Amino acid sequence: MSAVGEGEGGAPDPERPSSGQSAAGGQGSAAGKGRSQQRKQVLLRLDPAMHDALARWAADELRSTNAQIDYLLRQALKEAGRLPKEARAHPRRGRPPREG
């Protein structure tokens, strides 16, 4: 299992707050904006076989395990008609477009 702030294999996870950011979502800095734009952190306990299956599936899709779980949850919420309208769009995969 990785330490907090690290992704698969101990590499930094771009979806987790850096040491200078609040894991609570920076409630003080979000005054007047409604909900915080920071992503929430959740401790999820999984059966080891389920985690391994998710990790393999994520690798097949060229995603991190965290991104795969996020993707699957978004799909399930969307199919159930429960995805909030204010939920941010799923980040695009791959290299960012060139500027200019």
pLDDT digit string, tens, across residues 40-87: 999 999 999 999 999 999 999 999 999 999 999 999 999 999 999 998
Query: How would DSSP label each residue in 21-88?
Result: S-TT--GGGGTTSSS--SPPP------HHHHHHHHHHHHHTT--HHHHHHHHHHHHHHHTT---TTSP
What pLDDT does residue 46 have? 97
Evaluate if pTM is beyond 0.75. no
Domain regions of the chain by residue span: 47-82
Per-chain mean pLDDT for the chain: 74
What pLDDT does residue 95 have? 78
What pLDDT does residue 36 have? 55
